[in-house]
Amino acid sequence: MDLYLIRHGQTDWNKKGIMQGQTDIPLNHRGKEQAAFLADFFRSDPFPVRRIFSSPLSRAAQTAVFLGKALGLSVQILPQMKETNMGHWEGRTWEEIRKHDAASYEAWLLDPYNTPHPGGESYRQVAERALSALLPLEDPSLPTVIVTHGDVMLALHACCRGGSLKDAPSRITGNLMRRELNNSSIWHFSLNCGQLRFLAPVPVDNRFFR
């Protein structure tokens, strides 16, 4: 089954570099423009999408509604596809976290796939709950879009790589998070016989999504 995971459009917290986690922040004006662009992209490109699912958080659900209207499809909510619970780090920037919670940050960097965010989830836990939603959806006749979040996409990519974050398009390098997963990015996965595989990012005009 072809599976297209999409990161939601921009929010004000994205613009300011604030960690949202499961805090429910809606799309800003730019995010709505990005969602409209995505809708046009899927409507004009030969993607045979048959189903649309979304995280319950408003920034993802709003993005999904744009796609649904463009493709004439209803949007179904998957609670397991919501963003990582970032615990005590939600509402803070990476710089604030590095400055005020340096010990926890350094410990997390050593093994971010298995180490929970303080008071929150690890990427492994996120991947496990996301997979619990994806596996029952498998149907080769129903190419599927799921609008979700950057960390969910990153966690699933790492799961496909045996828990490695090193070669992800958005990855941790040195002592900081290097994010190359822009708002409204699209990643193509396949789901066959219960096995999830990352195929490639879908090329779009990334300049529009920065």
Helical segments of the chain, H only = 12-16, 29-44, 58-71, 94-100, 102-110, 123-134, 150-160
Which is catalytic among the residues 8, 117, 149, 157?
8
Is 201 within 8 Å of 187 (Cβ atoms)? yes
- Is 180 a catalytic site residue? no
Separation in Å, CA 170 to CA 59, 72, 185: 20, 32, 11
C-beta neighbour count of 189 within 10 angstroms = 21
Which strand ranges, in their side-by-side order, compose the sheet holding 186-192?
Answer: 75-77, 51-54, 144-148, 2-7, 186-192, 195-201
Which is catalytic among the residues 29, 33, 83, 95?
83
- Is 149 a catalytic site residue? no
Q: Which residues belong to the active site?
A: 8, 83
